[in-house]
A and B are shown apart, each in its own frame.
Chain A
Amino acid sequence: MSDNNDRNQVINELTTSEYKYGFVSDIETDQAPKGLSEKTIQFISAKKNEPEWLLEFRLKAYRHWLTVKEPDWALLHHPPIDYQDIIYYSAPKAKKKLQNLDEVDPDLIDTFNKLGISLEEQKHLSGIAVDAVIDSVSVKTTFQETLAKHDIIFCSFSDAVKHHPDLVKKYLGKVVPYTDNYFAALNSAVFSDGSFCYIPKGVRCPIELSTYFRINAANTGQFERTLLIACEGSYVSYLEGCTAPMRDKNQLHAAIVEIFTMDNAEVKYSTVQNWYPGNKEGKGGIYNFVTKRGLCKGHHSKISWTQVETGSAITWKYPSCILKGDFSVGEFYSVAVTNNYQQADTGTKMIHLGKNTKSTIISKGISAGKSNNSYRGMVRISKNADNARNFSQCDSLLLGNQCGAHTFPYIKSGNDTAIIEHEATTSKISDDQLFYCQQRCIGKEKAIGLIVNGYAKQVLNKLPMEYAMEARKLLAITLEGSVG
């Protein structure tokens, strides 16, 4: 019995650590008034000097949004969101146009340093191009020159609208149309910034591209949009990270990511999501409703999603692949950790349209505290997707007896040559495994860390190295004191 208590204590310790990114930076912001109306949208559009067609797109999306209902099929419980109580635009006040890093607001740099993303350092040492988005606006993109050498466009969404309107116009809303779902419509109406990336034909992006999102101001929502286009034969690895300060009130984050891959192109999209998850009593935290979708348009193209989800009070996120090109490949690797009162309903959609398409889904859920963690994924094989192949594996690990782990796979097959396999297991850390470790003089805490780390390894290994380190750190923070 005492042994049991001991273990409970270890698990308690593991699962009750504090959020480390909860500071607030004192940065002056430029905000839209609270509430959502056509006026707000016009305000945002005017603020950003947008062309007519984009405003038109926003307004269409807004009008559509008014006609649809918030989805309720996910296993998530939260009080209704008051969409009129949110500030839809908040930007750090620009003093003047920035030319280089030295001109960035020192407070801002400080913020990013605290987050462990020193823009300066990143620039010189690690060789990752960073686009940092604070509140709603992209504040700094590093490594522009190197990228320019390869004709790679990597800039904030607003810059892209200004400098590459044709590209934006051609691809915006083509994978995630504003009619797609409630939150996609909302985002399309009010998105304020985000990243834009265009990899030209035959270019293998020499450095990893990265975006950092941070919500700073209170009562704001963040609605960013990422558009990533990989032309024939190109390759890019794209990273995304996010944090927010600790606030008592829930904040809304509704983003869209759209990816296009042409013939033989490959995109690797990695996310380390660490929005503020709320405190131990479940107060505060970010509501994270994200639509991410990639279109494998060309033959032999590939999109690989890797995500480590540790933050957010509520996660509603299904990065998907539409496998349209023949021989295209979709991958989804996910580790989702929920603790305290966090709720996650996350998974993927693999839509097989082309022949000989292949998809792999590996999802690892870890629930602790009083949280609920659901995997919800769909594999659809259309009539013409001959020889399509899917393998899915969804495992859940329960730490403690107050949490829940759920699996909701949807498999739809309309082709007799397709092979689909799905398997899932749910278990806790087995006594045998613990005993084995302890026999070999590995303490309980360390053993649990070891087992959790081993459990998530299959996914963590898919992350680029810098992120794998960060993801491990995050796992360690969420399940304090053991992992490392």
Chain B
Amino acid sequence: METTKTTYILKKNLTDYYYSVVAPHLKKENHKVAELRKTAMEYFVEVGFPHTTMEHWRGTNLQEVYNQNLKIKTEAEVYNKTLSDIFLCEVHGFDTRVISVLNGFFYAPENKQLVTFENGVVAGSLARAQNVFPQLFEKYFGLLTRNYRHAFTALGDALFTDGVFVYVPDNVRVENTFQLIKILNLPQLATNTRNLIILGKNSKLTFLHCDDSINHQSGLSNTVSEFFIGENAELKLYKLQNLNDESALINNTFIKQERNSLLNMNVLSFNGGLIRNEITVNLDGEGASANILGLYLLDKCQHIDNQAYIYHNVPQCQSNELFKGILDDEATGVFNGSIYVARNAQQTKAFQRNNNILMKPTAHIDTMPFLEIYADDVKCSHGATVGQLNTEALFYMRQRGISFDDARLLLLYAFVAEVADKIDIVALRISIEDMIKRRLRGELSICDRCVLHCSQPAKPMEIEIDLSKI
């Protein structure tokens, strides 16, 4: 195994942290949580950190992250100022219920750590919820994560400090959007958080997951999330990632879908030193359908790694995957999509597409769209392209008096619009479109505020082109 000194030290620090801080409190925790922590830690001790000789980590080198001398914060954040004092984040004309996690701990006043709303919806700290709703934890917690693929999922299970718990009871359709804001504001911090979101039958939830940093300090944020979508339920899941160039973000998302459930997921990565999104969707009920869209716009030395595993375990499910990316400067990207169709999962429809544009000769993309199919009555396809802007289209526009920059911008925007247009919350779409335009202009290379709050929201960004000339 590839072990360097720094990985050894980090591993030792994390193991020590487990035995000195986490293990003594296991008795106070839900037994399911405690058990999972134990098995996960055993796995981590045995396997260690992933390295580039492992097949699924070839494209992503974490050595620099390991070298950072990361620490774990042991005591919870004390709530002494409102979130908006630390971090301003709002979508104009878009009302959300904000839940926040600061440096790995749930950040809310004491009386709002775990709230039950009048319609029965529960939202709050996972650490608190485990003893309040033991039956739910018994049934769901760790159900999807336990077959670990690598150490980070295990670390999330073993060492999580806190996270978010949301429970939507049967037949409740939540109109408000839940917005989870995860912030790191301390240097060299490694955080492990764990989220559990459960949607009952016929329910509906929109969940916005924002990962942000508010300074230029390095850190590692590792999140493990489990989503359970009940029969006929609908989950809209948006992930917005806008971190500084020094930070590393590892998101492990596990989703289980029951009969006729619907998942609409958008992963929008705008900035971040190193981002790895691992999405696992289990289609476990007939008629379930999953739409997973991704967009990544990276420059400088940033790196993104999107891994999507879709398991069609039963017949008549449908999945659509579309990831689009623009890589500039020395940015590197990896896409690995995997569709697995089980032996009896007949009448499966699964589509997968990854399109990339490289802006500079120094940018690099690896794309691996995989299909693994064991049933014959299926319609599956995948496609991947890597290219650049169409020179003829550019020429056409320049002939008509559109400047090179504008023409380029227009083409790039058209390229990403396929993903952006599918965001069906209007206010969110408008601000994200605005973000994209700024991002493509290079005005948003690092936004030290939230991704959604841009300096002049009243004046949305326009591409100034006289369309009458075209």
Contacts and interface: CB of A to CB of B under 8 A. Distances in A.
B73 interface: no
A431 B264 CA distance: 32
Residue of B372, B377, B388 with most chain A CB atoms under a 10 A cut-off:
B372
Interface residues of A, number: 36
A422 interface: yes
A427 B343 CA distance: 14
B401 to A, nearest CB: 26
A230 to B, nearest CB: 31
Nearest to A386: B361
A101 to B, nearest CB: 49
B358 A415 contact: yes
Contact of A426 (B364, B380, B384): B380
A419 B386 contact: yes
B381 A423 contact: yes
Given A407-B371, A420-B387, A421-B385, A413 B365 contact: yes
Interface in B360-392: 360-388
Contact of B376 (A400, A411, A414, A419): A400
B384 A406 contact: no
B381 A398 contact: no
B324 to A, nearest CB: 15
Nearest to B336: A410
A420 B381 CA distance: 17
Interface of B is mostly: strand
A414 B364 contact: yes
Name, among B368, B371, B375, B378, the residue most crowded by chain A CB atoms within 10 Å (CB to CB): B371
Contacts of A408: 368, 370-371
B375 A412 contact: no
Contacts, number: 117
B377 A401 contact: yes
Interface in B169-215: none
B323 to A, nearest CB: 13
Given A416-B361, A420-B384, A428 B368 contact: no
Contact of A410 (B361, B366, B376): B366
A409 B353 CA distance: 13
Given A408-B368, A413-B358, A73 B384 contact: no
B353 to A, nearest CB: 9
Given A409-B384, A411-B386, A424 B358 contact: no
A437 B19 CA distance: 70
Given A73-B55, A408-B368, A417-B388, A425 B380 contact: yes
Contacts of B378: 398, 426-428
A399 B361 CA distance: 44
Nearest to B328: A416
Nearest to B340: A406
Q: By CB atoms of chain B within 10 A, which of A396, A399, A422 has the most?
A: A422
B405 to A, nearest CB: 17
B346 interface: yes
A404 B373 contact: yes
B388 A411 contact: no
B359 interface: yes
Contacts of A424: 369, 371, 381-383
A414 B253 CA distance: 29
Interface string B321-350: 000000000000000000000010010000
A383 interface: yes
B371 A399 contact: no
B356 interface: yes
**Most B C-beta atoms less than 10 A away, residue of A401, A412, A416, A422:** A416
Interface in A414-449: 414-428
Contacts of B381: 423-426
B364 A422 contact: no
Contacts of B384: 409, 411, 420-423
A167 B373 CA distance: 46
A45 B384 CA distance: 48
A415 B361 contact: yes
Nearest to A368: B376
A402 B377 CA distance: 11
A75 B379 CA distance: 22
A398 B348 CA distance: 14
A460 interface: no
A412 B376 contact: no
Contacts of B379: 426-427
Contacts of A411: 365-368, 384, 386
B363 A416 contact: yes
Contacts of B387: 418-420
A405 interface: yes
B365 A426 contact: no
A75 B365 CA distance: 24
Given A410-B366, A410-B368, A398 B386 contact: no
Nearest to A374: B372
Interface in A5-25: none
Closest 3 CB pairs of A and B: A398-B376, A416-B358, A413-B386
23 contacts: A405-B371, A405-B373, A406-B371, A406-B372, A407-B371, A408-B370, A410-B368, A411-B365, A411-B366, A412-B367, A413-B386, A414-B363, A419-B385, A419-B386, A420-B384, A420-B385, A421-B384, A423-B381, A425-B380, A426-B379, A426-B380, A427-B379, A428-B377
Given A405-B373, A427-B380, 13 more contacts: A401-B346, A401-B376, A403-B374, A406-B370, A409-B367, A409-B368, A410-B366, A411-B384, A416-B360, A416-B388, A418-B358, A426-B378, A428-B378
